[in-house]
Amino acid sequence: MEYSKLVEIYEQLNRTTKRLEKTHIIAEFLKDINAEETEYVMLLLEGRVFPSYDAREIGVASRLMLKSLSTATGIPTDRIEDEWRKLGDLGLVAESIVKTKKQATLHSAKLNVKKVFGNIRKLAELEGQGTVERKTQLIAELLTSAKPLESKYIVKTILGEMRIGVGEGAMRDAVVWAFFGDKIGIKYVKEGNDVQIEDRETYSKYADAVQSAYDAANEFAVVAKAAKSKGLDGLKHIEMHIGIPIKVMLSLKVDTIEEGFETVGKPAAVEFKYDGFRIQAHKDEKGSIRLFTRRLEDVTRQFPDAVDFIRKNVKGKNFIIDSEAVGYDRKTGKYLPFQNISQRIKRKYEIERMARDFPVEVNVFDVIYYDGKNMISEPFESRRKLLEKIIRQEPKKIVLSRFIKTSDKKEIEKFFEDAFEAGNEGLMFKSLHAPYKPGARVGHMVKFKAIMETLDLVIVAAEWGEGKRSKWLSSYQIACTDEDGNLLEIGRASTGLKEKEEEGLSFMEMTKRLKPLITSEKGKEVKVKPKIMIEVGYEEIQKSSSYSSGFALRFPRIIGLREDRGPEQASTLDYVKKLYEGQKKS
d(CA 89, CA 99): 16
Tell me the sheet residues that pair with 458: 479, 533
d(CA 478, CA 488): 8
Tell me the sheet residues that pair with 318: none
Cα three-residue angle 124-61-51, rounded to 5 degrees: 40
Contact, 62 vs 88, CB < 8 A? no
| Cα 27 versus chain centre, distance | 26
Tell me the CA distances in angstroms from 179 to 21, 37, 186, 199, 234, one per residue in order. 17, 15, 11, 15, 12
Element (H, E) at 138: helix 131-145
| Cβ-based neighbours of 418, under 8 Å, separated by 6 or more | 272, 402
> Residues 101, 228, 273, 430: which is the catalytic one?
273
| Cα 452 versus chain centre, distance | 25
Residue 287 CB coordination number (10 Å): 9
d(CA 157, CA 119): 12
Look up 273 and say whether it is catalytic.
yes
d(CA 478, CA 54): 48
Contact, 213 vs 226, CB < 8 A? yes
Q: How many residues does the chain have?
A: 586
Tell me the sheet residues that pair with 586: none
Contact, 420 vs 255, CB < 8 A? no
Pure H helices in 422-522: 507-514
d(CA 535, CA 505): 12
Cα three-residue angle 551-556-559, rounded to 5 degrees: 130
For residue 50, give the nearest of 60, 39, 61 by alpha carbon: 39
**C-beta contacts of 210-213 below 8 A and 24+ residues apart:** 210/172, 210/175, 210/176, 210/235, 211/172, 213/238
SS3 assignment, position 415: helix
Q: Which residues are catalytic?
A: 273
